[in-house]
Amino acid sequence: MSIGHTLLGLLESGPRHGYDLKRAFDEKFGHDRPLHYGQVYATMSRLLKNGLVEVDGVETDGGPERKRYAITDAGITDVATWLAQPEKPEPYLQSTLYTKVVLAMLTGRSAADVLDAQRSEHLRLMRILTDRKRKGDLADQLICDHALFHLEADLRWLELTAARLGKLAEVVAP
């Protein structure tokens, strides 16, 4: 996820302080990984330097200065361009799991055990996500569906690989 583009998109509804941006980000996108304040301010500093935001005002309210940021026309264009570009599908052609299966075979360990342990971990996470989906709002349901579909594809790969371990052993460790 592009934190900068996400913060820019949140600014399109109007100027906000860094604290407000963090809160909005965490509410909409940060359920599993909330932003750190330092990350917000470092990102805003970079966006300011690049001319994608501007300081719309500074307030003190008896405490430290709070800058209010506003998106610039260049920032709006940047967000529109980013939103229009499709994300590159991740084909996972060199996965860590495949590497572990092959290394298990090469070192005389059980590749089936590696696959079984991974299957158990996938199923554990799927149960957690299914429970979260059941209890969550629409945003949580959609996020969980995305993750669950990926985990289901991984499980299919695990089953296919388990069924082909004999042939893989002939190729990998003749």
Helix H or strand E encompassing 168: helix 165-172
Model-wide pTM > 0.75: no
Q: How high is the pLDDT of residue 88?
A: 76
Residue 40 structure tokens: 């917000």
**Res. 112 pLDDT band, cuts 50 70 90:** very high
Half-sphere exposure of residue 38: CA atoms within 13 angstroms, side-chain side: 0
Segment 115-125, tens digit of pLDDT? 999 999 999 99
Q: How high is the pLDDT of residue 123?
A: 95
Q: How high is the pLDDT of residue 93?
A: 58
Q: What's the average model confidence in pLDDT over 87-103?
A: 78
Helix H or strand E encompassing 138: helix 138-163
Q: What's the average model confidence in pLDDT over 63-67?
A: 82
Q: Is a pLDDT exceeding 90 seen at residue 134?
A: yes
CATH number of 1-82: 1.10.10.10
Mean confidence (pLDDT) of the chain: 90
Q: How high is the pLDDT of residue 33?
A: 83
Segment 22-58, tens digit of pLDDT? 999 998 888 778 899 999 999 999 999 999 999 998 8
| Candidate from 11-20, 36-45, 79-88 with smallest mean pLDDT | 79-88
Q: How high is the pLDDT of residue 16?
A: 95
Query: Which parts of 37-137 fold into alpha helices (H)?
Result: 37-49, 73-84, 96-106, 111-135
Q: How high is the pLDDT of residue 1?
A: 61
Residue 49 structure tokens: 């330097």
Q: How high is the pLDDT of residue 60?
A: 78
Q: How high is the pLDDT of residue 146?
A: 94
Rounded distance, CA 3 to CA 35, Å?
9
Q: Which residues pair with 79 in a beta bridge?
A: none
Rounded distance, CA 120 to CA 99, Å?
18
